Structure 1
Amino acid sequence: MLTGAALTGAAPVGATPADATTAGPTPAGSAPAGSVKAETKRTTALAPGVEYQQLDLQGTKGPARAHVLSVDLTDPRVRLGLLYPGAVAARATVSELATAEGAIAGVNGDFFNITEAQHPGVEATGASVGPAIAGGRALKAAVPNGQRFGPALPPGTTTEDVIGVGRDRRARVERLTLDGSVTTPEAELPLGGLNQYALPVGSVGAFTDDWGSASRLRATCGTDTERAAPCSTDTYEVTVRHGRVVSTADAPGGGQILRGTTVLVGREAGAQELRKFHIGEPVRITHRLRNTTSPIPLQLAVGGYPVLHDGQPLPGLDTRTAAVRTAAGIADGGRRVLLLALDGSPEYRTGLTVAEIAQVMRGLGAEHALNLDGGGSTTLVARTPDGVTPLNHPSAGSERPVPNGIGVFTGP
């Protein structure tokens, strides 16, 4: 078991440290195996069903500090939701996102398209890697594995892996696959992407008003196995409004997409198919994100990659590279969610390896866990009398704008 110690964390809104903390060690699962030593500090109640704690950790590369939110989904006053800035291809800080949505706490989410140094003249979109669902509505699907940003995927995992919460209020790790089609009187094409910064080679992708105003050019760059590969020279774009083709173009464009409008972007074989479309032609576009594990629809989904399954670390996790990291875990059969962010202050900046993060999440009682975006993105915030503020120290000295996060909400 992890052992108790003194608390140096923040107090909840409207409470003092004296009436906000509980004495004694925090309940946890089996202690982390391997090299990570953890000292659990007292737990602070941020709100009914939501607790915050600090862990002082000793990893193989040096000391680290973790900030952890424990969210009890059996409490009807608590829920989790996606934090995002209103568009897939946009970014804001976790504090800004939590403030705008009225969350009492939250952490950053998925890895994202942060730079395009390999493609001169192409702007990074800021869009996330994996699928995203907000309020039960699919916002986007996953880019190909080779197009992701972040550490190498562990064996057997994909960019389609998410942590989510279903309509049954149970958290689970899922794999979300895009099912979709584009149908005209002459043909039916499979849909290869939904609001993604990278489309599979030879495919057709759909962009809706959820995408935002960023250029769609990046979607035709790279290949399924090489993110830095050149942009395709064989592209085509078709704009469909209220079920009919209204315009076409030889290259992907940009600007806000109107409600009721879908822009189809094709590359290679997909572009060749789109060139057969004609102005005024009727087009039916369908898309959904399909669960591959549970039939229960997700209300929330955020991408990441699994590091813990059924209480055991996945094989092949990195044991050498330590960094500041964010993780999300599932405990008590999906009834409790753990949100963890390491501290980025100079004395703790060496962080932990991915394998050590899996150990720590298991020590907190997680049965399943995902590694989320880390480094300068790692941020855990909570609402205080002075507003929403980070409880950890972002490693860059200030918060980095991110595409999404996991928000903790209370109330009816």
Structure 2
Amino acid sequence: MSAKRYSTVLKRRVSAQQVRLIGSIVSALLLLGISSPSQALATVRQGTQISLNGQTLSAPWSQWQDDAGLRIGISDRALTPTVGIQLLTANTVTQQPIQWFTPPQLQPSALFTRLISSQRYLDITDMAAQSGWQMKVADSALQITSPVANMLAIRQGHPAWGDRIVIELDRSTPWQTDSTNQEVILTLNAQVMPNILQQMKNASGKYFQSVSVESLGNQTRVRLRIANGIQPRIWSLAKPDRIIVDIRPDSLIERNVLWAPGLRSRQQTLAIGTNRVPVTWLELDPRHPGLSLKPIVPNLSSMMGIAPLAQTAQQAQVTAAINGGFFNRIRQLPLGAVRVDGRWLSGPILNRGAIAWDGSGNFAFKRLTLQETLTTSTGQRLAITHLNSGYIQAGIARYTADWGATYTSLSDNELIISVQNNGVVSQQPLAKAGSAGVSIPSNGYLLVLRSNQSIASALAPGTLLQLDSSTDPQEINRYPYVLGAGPLLIQNSQIVLNSKIEGFSNAFAAETAPRSAIAQTNAGQILLVTAYEKLNGSALTLTEMAQILQQLGAINALNLDGGSSTTLYLGGQVIDRPPNSAARVHNGIGIFLR
């Protein structure tokens, strides 16, 4: 059977049993590294913008051809904020069950998937036709026009768990959500009668302060002022058609999506002591063909710079990512290990925890030190304190071209020694921090003497140098990829948290904050995990994060930079927080699919 014919068969209306059988067969082929024929269909057009009823929205889309005609898909992660489609648990890679004006007693419908590069598109062609949408491609945008609905009523419920607002409609309609920490804006393609505008004028509840309804012609905007940290669940039902806004601390719906071969997206609320914590994570098989991990940075040509993780991920063309190690937010420089393809873009500091790995699915979770020693032509041995680091300490630091084209002084009264072809060629004093950049030789490196210039005579021009470099533990030498953060949370299934031995302050060890971590299970799966706060509103300690990871099956785990840096990214979107609330970060761990 041809690829096009096979795709057509998949898209016909078949029984639920047949769908499950087809999905199981295709999933088995994918797990064996055999691509689904539907993935091989030629793309006709694609873009990143949608015009929905005249409103321009950012959403990757793709158009392709099969025997049944042109098909159109929208990135799965864009469908929720732009159309209101909710993704449900999916156990096959070929179909994605959804919740969108689904009758209460019926099984959710499912959309066929198409994985292209770092995007997973859901085929909305049939759903759009059934809903009366008109779709066409104009220039680089996908234009969608949907019938205008009428808002019949808006009412408030008072369930024991929180607040519920129900918007009654005369038909299904797309809606968009835009969230901040304390406001949710819901925009519907629906008209509203003047009397309805006042129905919620004085409404308030346990977790929201106010609701306002605004008419925008053929659109209606609903604004909710909510308690800080609450993210409502917004979903829909049919018979009658209605949009439901549930405002509650435990709004996270358990979901387990087989997003791509070897990659799952999961979310669940877990118990910690007497409280509960919403947790979002990615679960991946590092040995799956075509899947790989690498550290990612905003700019490979210079270690100075920070950016939102989503921007760095899109630039690196990764499918998924999590924020990585620590950095100086003012200087925008790394404070910990970043090794890519065997090159130390930034060296480890303070014996802090790190994760190291190779391309064959082997990982090590260790506290890490890089030991470098210079031996002069007279036999004098000089210890290097740090390599390519924004961490400042008295002694000798070394900077290579992997740091960037130039080095700018980080402290006052530094002495810069240029080494080329294993020999000292010059010395240059820099009186003030931030002094003009000094070129880093491509055939050597710079030595930076800080508060230790008495040894300058041992590094006079013409002096020959031998450099010895090794990691402690030595096994890390063989891993081409390393990312440092800390503290180390779990080793061999035991919590080994010791902030002091890794050079963290007592305040850092005791504070509560949003957390991100990377972990390994006994089966060799890698988990990228984020958690923000317990349902009672308090953030997490490091010990609580370690306990969460143990519940997820972690036998090894490393804490990553948390707080405002905490970010998890998948398929073009931030998935664990409002995208506009994510802070800029220096580095992350990227997941590549090919």
Which TM bucket (shorter chain)? 0.7 to 0.9
How far did residue 168 of structure 1 move?
4.2
CA positional deviation for 1:89: 2.9
Q: After superposition, where does 1:6-405 map in structure 2 within 5 Å? A: 16-17=96-97, 18=110, 41-57=254-270, 64-85=277-298, 86=300, 87-115=302-330, 124=331, 126-144=332-350, 158-159=351-352, 161-166=353-358, 168-186=360-378, 187-201=380-394, 203-212=395-404, 216-218=408-410, 220=411, 235-251=414-430, 253-255=435-437, 257-269=440-452, 271-279=453-461, 281-284=462-465, 286=467, 288-292=469-473, 294=475, 297-304=478-485, 305-314=487-496, 321-332=511-522, 335-343=524-532, 350-383=538-571, 388-393=572-577, 397-405=580-588
Whole-angstrom CA distance in 2 between matches of 1:198 and 1:214:
17
Deviation at 1:129, TM superposition (A): 2.2
The residue identity in structure 2 corresponding to 1:375 is: G
- Give the Å deviation of 1:369: 0.8
CA gap of 1:95–1:9, structure 2 versus 1, over 3 A, is farther
Change (3 A) 1:70 1:347: same
**Distance 1:399-1:287 versus aligned 2 partners, 3 A rule:** farther
> How many matched pairs?
344
C-alpha contact (below 8 Å) 1:89/1:213 kept by paired residues? no
Deviation at 1:48, TM superposition (A): 0.9
Q: 1:198 to 1:243 in 2, by over 3 A?
A: same
Question: What is the alpha-carbon distance in structure 2 between the residues aligned to residue 196 and residue 10 of structure 1?
Answer: 43
Q: CA 1:60 to 1:377, structure 2 compared with 1: closer, same or farther past 3 Å? A: farther
User: What is the identity, as a one-letter code, of the residue corresponding to 2:589?
Assistant: I
Query: What is the CA–CA distance in structure 2 between the aligned matches of 1:57 and 1:8, rounded to whole Å?
Result: 20
Distance 2:425 2:464 in 1: 11
Q: Closer, same or farther in 2 for the Cα pair 1:295/1:302, shift >3 Å?
A: closer
Q: Flag the 1:352–1:57 CA change in 2: closer, same or farther, 3 A.
A: farther
Q: How far is 1:293 from its partner?
A: 6.2
CA distance in 1, matches of 2:531, 2:422: 48
SS at match of 2:267: strand
Q: Deviations over 1:151-192 (max 9, x none)?
A: xxxxxxx32x20121354212202332232334323332222
Give the unaligned 5+ runs of structure 1. 1-6, 22-36, 116-123, 145-157, 221-230
Q: Which residue of 1 aligns with 2:221?
A: none
Pair 1:321–1:50, CA change in 2 (3 A)? same
Give 1:249's aligned amino acid.
Q
Contact 2:324 2:588 in 1 (8 A): yes
Provide closer, same or farther for how the CA distance between residues 20 and 107 of structure 1 changes in structure 2, counting only shifts above 3 A: farther
Whether the aligned pair in 2 keeps the contact of 1:9 and 1:54 (CA below 8 Å) is no
Distance 1:262 1:316, change over 3 A: closer
Query: Post-superposition shift, 1:332?
Result: 2.1
Q: 1:401: how far off?
A: 2.0
- Tell me the CA shift for residue 19 of structure 1: 5.9
Task: Describe the shift of the 1:75–1:168 C-alpha distance in structure 2 as closer, same or farther (beyond 3 A).
Answer: closer
Q: 168-177 vs 64-73, which deviates more?
A: 168-177
C-alpha separation in 1, matches of 2:477 and 2:415: 37
Q: Distance in 1 between the 2:476 and 2:112 partners?
A: 39
Bigger CA drift: 309-318 or 172-181?
A: 309-318
Q: Is the 8 A contact 2:336 2:484 kept in 1?
A: yes
**Which residue of structure 2 aligns with residue 30 of structure 1?**
none
| 1: CA distance, partners of 2:387 / 2:258 | 39
The structural deviation recorded for 1:204 is: 1.0
Please state how far the C-alpha of 1:72 moved relative to its aligned partner: 0.5
Distance change >3 Å, CA 277–CA 164, structure 1 → 2:
closer
Partner Cα separation in structure 2 for residue 377 and residue 177 of structure 1: 24
Partner of residue 27, structure 1: none
Q: Is the 8 Å Cα contact of residues 192 and 199 (structure 1) preserved in structure 2?
A: no
CA RMSD of aligned residues (A): 3.5
* Cα distance in 2 for residues equivalent to 1:174 and 1:376: 25
Unaligned runs of 5+ in 2: 1-85, 98-109, 114-249, 500-507
Give the helix-richer structure, 1 or 2: 2
Highest CA radius of gyration, 1 or 2?
2
Q: Distance in 2 between matches of 1:284 and 1:329?
A: 40
Mapped to 1, the partners of 2:537 and 2:87 lie a distance apart of 19
Deviation at 1:14, TM superposition (A): 8.7
* Matched letter for residue 417 of structure 2: V
Displacement of 1:142 in angstroms is 2.4
Q: CA deviation at 1:328?
A: 0.7
Distance 1:163 1:57, change over 3 A: same
SS at match of 1:294: helix
Structure 1 residues 285, 341: closer, same or farther in 2, change over 3 A? farther
Higher strand share: 2
Q: Distance in 1 between matches of 2:511 and 2:273?
A: 10
Deviation for aligned residue 1:134 = 0.9
Q: Describe the superposition over 1:168-225 as per-residue Cα deviations: whole angstroms up to 9, x where unpaired.
A: 4212202332232334323332222101122443x2111112223686433x5xxxxx
Letter in 2 for 1:330: Q
1:236 and 1:275 in contact (8 A); partners too: no
- Cα 1:301–1:9 shift into 2, 3 Å: farther
In structure 2, give the amino acid aligned to 1:211: W
> Which has the bigger relative contact order, CA under 8 A and spacing at least 6?
1
TM-score by length of 2: 0.52
